[in-house]
Structure formats: structure tokens, C-alpha cells
Amino acid sequence: MPRQIAFLFTDNEELIGLAARALRIVLLLFPLVGFQIVTSNFFQSIGMAKKAIFLSLTRQMLFLIPFLLILPRIYGDTGVWMSMPLADTAAIVVASVMLTRQLRKFRSHMQSDTNNATNQSSDNR
């Protein structure tokens, strides 16, 4: 529906064509951005504010700005539009890595707690 969305703002056919193409590129990975946002909220909710802030900034500051400075020089206008899904991809990868590491720490901590509880109960016998 990118053409219909662009048509809401203009009736210029050339502009509608450009906007429709841009919308297809920009919104390519948009459904996956929610994962990055939820991961940031997860870190905030467990009291890791620095990690949450870092994840919040990755998409806009850490990745998007450099991509916007580099890609248009190589790909022209298409580089501007490609910057957004590439920044989303990079932010999702970073969020995935951070979340995986944190979940492994939780599992390791839970296993050591279980082992300690088992050892304590066998010592009490």
C-alpha cells in the first residue's frame, strides 16, 4: 500500500513513485524493530539502565547516523533509504547478542543456586 499512502500527501505521480519505493525500502525490517525496543525495555526492567540506554541509542545514533553519512555517497538517494533498514538490522543484532548473553547469565545463576540448594539440603541430612 505504499502508493496509496503517498497519494494521501500528494497527487504528483513522480513523487508518489519515489515515495512508494522509499517506503518499501524503509519499512522492510520495521516489523522486527519491536524486538529491539522490547529488549531495551527488558534491560530497563531488570535494573540495567545503562544497557537499556545503550540499546535505545544504537538504532538512531550509533548506526543510522554513520549509515546516513556513508551510504548516500555510494548509492545516492537509495543509500538514504537503505540506511534505515540497515541500522535496524545492526540494532537488532546487537540487541540479540546482549539478550542472549544476559539470558545465559540468568541460566548459569539459576543452576548455581539450584546446586547450592541441593548441596545444603544434603548437608542437613
- Exposure of 37 by Cβ count < 10 A (0-12 exposed, 13-18 middle, 19+ buried)? middle
17 domain residue, yes or no: no
User: Residue 119 sits in which domain range?
Assistant: 29-123
Mean pLDDT of 83-104: 95
* Domain count for the chain: 1
1 domain residue, yes or no: no
14 domain residue, yes or no: no
Q: Could you please report the per-residue DSSP string of 70-119?
A: HHHHHHTHHHHHHHHHHHHHHHHHHHHHHHHHHHHHHHHHHHHHHHHHHH
60 domain residue, yes or no: yes
33 domain residue, yes or no: yes
118 domain residue, yes or no: yes
Higher model confidence: residue 91 or residue 120?
Answer: 91
pLDDT in tens, 39-80: 999 999 999 999 999 999 998 889 999 999 999 999 999 999
Q: Is the pLDDT of residue 124 over 80?
A: no
113 domain residue, yes or no: yes
Mean pLDDT of 18-36: 88
The pTM is what? 0.79
5 domain residue, yes or no: no
Identify the pLDDT of residue 125: 56
